Amino acid sequence: MLQDTGSLTIETGKRSSRRAAGLLYSQFYPSVKEIFAAGNVYPFTNTAIETLALDKKLRKTWELVGGGLSHQPAALIKAYLYTKLRCHYALLGSMQKSFGIREEHRVSKELFYAIDSRIRSQELQNKRLVVPTGDSSPYYSFTTDNLLRWMRWNINKFCVGFEMVYSFQDPHFVTWEHTRIMLMFLRCLQFSYSGGLIQKVGGCWQDVRQQPDPRQPNGLRRYEGLGFKRTLETYGYAWFLDKIDWNTLTFKQPHAAYMMFNNPSMQTAYRARYRQVRDVRIDFIRVDKARQWMQDFSAVPSCLELLEKYLRQLCLFLRPEHMEAALSGEVPLCYDSVDKVLIERHGPPQLAYGHRLAVKNIDVLFAWLWEWKDGQFERKGWNDKPYRMLYQQSFRAVTTARGKDSARKWRQELKNSFLKSHWMIPYPQSQGFMRKDKETKEFVWWPSFHSGLNCYYARLEQLGSLTQPLPASNIKHHPSNGWTLAPGYTNQ
């Protein structure tokens, strides 16, 4: 993070005259890097520690959606603390050592003997190499004590930043803006003690760049970083540009929307299911944004009501690509519509029936599918499904902005909306999200039925005034209680 410092490796081209003469590559580096090298593994380069910056529920949901990969926070905290301890003892044990600049050149045997012959012909083989000092010196000269104390200060600066934001964490909710700041400090730590290729980390190196994007109004997508390239050239040290609010430890507006610290290493590790993991992150950010807006507009009741409705819709949002068609009434409630949604190997749907069902009440079914503090139901393998994570985070966002009573009311409104609009509901079990029929091995669905609503629509049909298909706007007039298991399936 200092100008004019670092390492350099130069490799000659395969067809160049230098390679033909026998020079393969040259390296120039400070030997001080030996302090931190351990089997060529350097401190803070384990990107898994970025998982510490994530909200607990988001991490668990990613693990469920991504499959296989698991990051345990306790182990990562130990790894982080061990890395700090390693740096401490490495610096402490190097105070009495001397370091310098090294050059290494890999050459062919022929070139090596030619150089040796030339040195001997000039009788230089027994003379010491004299390097100029002062302003004409090709290197800087510092005492070991000064250099190592500066390294300790630089490492601690970023550690303190990360740990301060980490200490802000609510036990139930970590804002995405604080996650981004923690990612920033952790990535800066990798370059706090050595040169490294900081240019490859766009979020650190660049200030502002624009990239063609036809989806943007002006055809360009804006990206912003910390601007180390600019501050190194101006000040000789990688200071942060004025893009951080140090009171809240978040990125300032309007920079926040464009800063590039958005992709934790854990997300990129799920390559096979990257899209699903990315979608979970986007929904999490939406909840976090809504929480911020609720705090910003806490004195405007109409805004708060709109944001609460937005969170309810976000929790119930399933297939955005079919949203417009569904809202316009182009997806009628009939078997053809259901068949299009089901995966081919799971059709036709197997409906729950009989008196021996573990769940016979729609309220109990809702609690099993949605709630989390009941202590009654097991949800092995599906406790952290994305929709449950969104539901819990939304509830906490409303609680933070408006209090527990408003959050309970919001939860009841979501339940009402769910019951009004969902007539085929997954029938859960303790060991998996959906129960399978013992004989057919098909997934089982709960068919929801309302006798009063059924009579109402039957009467409209007799009078010839029933609209086909039913418009989506009818849902808001449906009752929210009185729903039961469809009677045609209770006595089989």
Distance between CA 76 and CA 81 in Å, rounded?
A: 9
Q: How many helices (H) and strands (E) does the chain have?
A: 17, 11
pLDDT along the chain (492 residues), means of 10: 82 92 90 84 89 88 75 90 95 92 91 93 86 74 92 96 90 85 94 83 91 89 94 93 94 92 76 77 90 92 94 83 72 74 77 82 92 82 89 93 94 93 88 85 89 91 82 81 79 38
Confidence (pLDDT) at 271 = 64
Signed CA dihedral, 427, 433, 438, 444: sign only: positive
- Strand 101-107 relative to strand 23-30, pairing: antiparallel
Confidence (pLDDT) at 490 = 43
Confidence (pLDDT) at 492 = 37
164-178 exposure pattern, b = at least 16 Cβ within 10 A, e = fewer: ebbeebeeebbbbbb
Which residues are CB-contacts of 269 (< 8 A; sequence separation ≥ 6)?
A: 66, 69
Distance between CA 294 and CA 314 in Å, rounded?
A: 15
Alpha carbon of 441 to those of 74, 362, 430, 437: distances in Å? 39, 24, 16, 5
Global pTM value: 0.76
Signed CA dihedral, 243, 55, 171, 370: sign only: positive
- Residue 368's nearest CA partner among 291, 432, 284 is 432
Distance between CA 205 and CA 203 in Å, rounded?
A: 6
Distance between CA 277 and CA 280 in Å, rounded?
A: 5
Confidence (pLDDT) at 491 = 38
Could you give the 3-state DSSP secondary structure of residue 121? helix
Confidence (pLDDT) at 22 = 93
Distance between CA 360 and CA 397 in Å, rounded?
A: 32
